[in-house]
Structure formats: structure tokens, C-alpha cells
Structure 1
Amino acid sequence: MKYYLIYFLFFISFILGSCKQMTSDDGVLMAAKQFQMDVSHDFVQLIDVRTPEEFDKGHLEHAINIDFKSDNFLNNIEKLNSDKPVYIYCRTGKRSTKSVPYFKKAGFKTIYNLKHGFLGWKSSGLPYKVNN
């Protein structure tokens, strides 16, 4: 009986630990629902690092498109306020993760990265905008 209690407590702590945000050198990875709560304000620095073509097909409201693949990516993010947190995303999370060192080089200290990117956002059924 004692071992069942230990296993149960271990299982519960594992589940609760999985629900928290994950912090790493790649910024703070946030699940879509938490990301949505944080970026629901238009004063948040929300950056979509996908290509303009991808951005036009669907993006988060109030997002600014700064293409990670462009030659002037670093110059463009240096125009942002590095004293404020920045929220970033791409299609699946790979480009946004690769962009984190550039944001750090530009002076950003607090970087939030959407876990599973825009596809994860869409699969969660969250709203987004499409450019005409």
C-alpha cells in the first residue's frame, strides 16, 4: 500500500511539472493557451518569424512579421524595444527557436516562444487572422 502512494505522488508531480512552462536557452516555451492569454493585449511585442507568404495565409492578431530568413533579420529586431518581453512564433517552433540567439544578441532578456508554433496554435482551435 505504501508503494502505491509513492507511485501515485510521483505520477501527480510528473503531471503537474509537465504543465508548467519550460525555460531553456531557447527562451520560455509556452503552450498555446498560456501564450494566447499573454498576447491578448495589443501592446505586447508579438513577432511572427515566418515568411511574408506564410504570414499572409494566417497569423496571430497584432503580430508583426519579421522574416527570420531575410538578410536583415537582426537589424529589424534591433528596432524593437529590448527592455520589454518579446513573444515569438513560427510554423512549428523550429525557426523561432533558431531566432532566440538573435533576440539575445539584440539585447532581449525575456523571450517567450510558442511551443509547436502556429500549427500548434491552430490545432488548439485558437483564433487567427488571414490577410486578403
Structure 2
Amino acid sequence: MNVLSPPELDEWIARYNYSRDAWAGHLTLVDVREQHEIENQGQIYDSIHIPWGLAEHDSNALVARFLVHNKEIPLIIYCRSGRRSRLAAAKAIELGFKNVYDLQGGILNWIENNLPVQSDTQASVALG
């Protein structure tokens, strides 16, 4: 698993004008926090929401949501502070994803770096 700093991730996403439509096929950005966390803290750009809590309740659903994504392109995962995203990244590697990245320090570090978040009303919270 690789680690990306918030400025590095911002640079990657900037290449695609901060649009999931533009970066589709080039990278996958996944938020593994729970819905209430997204509502409270916002979301990084147009992330795909795959809540890590599914691992406890329905691991097959969690796996299915990951497996709809291309295993060959970079998969970037984040959570609140980095713990759940590391677990999710390990699971993604186990599932055969080739280029897995963990956002260092999660969305808290992203916010500390003064990078923008979408509010829940702006975010497109896709279930993958």
C-alpha cells in the first residue's frame, strides 16, 4: 500500500479539474466513513462512498462495492483519520487491486491542509 499526502492527492485530482466525470477511468477516490461523518465534515470532491462499517454487518456487500471498480487504476481511500482507510486498503489489496493509496491522516489532515471539502448537499454520495 502506498501513502499520499493531502497536497499530493489534491495535485492528482487537479489534473482532472476536480471532476469525477473527468477522472473516471484514471483513478478511483473512495470515502470509507459513515454517512453521518460525511454529513458533519463534508467529503473530498466527488468521492465514492463505501462505508467501512459494512465490514462488520455485511462483508459481502462491502466486497461487492469494491469489485465494481477497475483494479488496474489507482484506488485512493480515505476516512476520518487514517485507521479505517488502512484496513480498507489492505482489503482492496487482498481483492486484487494493484495500485492502492491511503490518504495520510484522512479528511482531518486534508482539512488541516486547508483543502476544500464538499458539504453533504453538494456531495454526490454514490454507493459504488
Structure 1 runs not aligned, ≥5 long = 1-26
1:65 paired with 2:39, answer no
**Cα distance in 2 for residues equivalent to 1:73 and 1:65:** 11
Tell me which residue corresponds to 1:48.
31
Tell me the secondary structure at the aligned position of residue 109 of structure 1.
coil
Q: How many residues align?
A: 106
Task: Identify the residue that residue 66 of structure 2 maps to in structure 1.
Answer: 77
Seq. identity, % = 26
Aligned AA (2:93):
K
Alignment of 1:1-132 (within 5 A): 27-40=1-14, 41=16, 42=20, 43=23, 44-57=27-40, 58-70=42-54, 71=58, 72-132=61-121
Moved segments of 4+, more than 2 Å: 39-42
1:83, 1:56 → 2: CA distance? 31
User: Which has more radius of gyration?
Assistant: 1
CA deviation vs aligned residue, 1:65-121 (integer Å, no higher than 9, x gap) = 100111221111011111111111000000000111211122201011110000000
Larger relative CO (CA 8 A, sep 6+): 1 or 2?
2
Shift of 1:48: 0.3
Q: Which runs of 5+ in 2 are unaligned?
A: 122-128
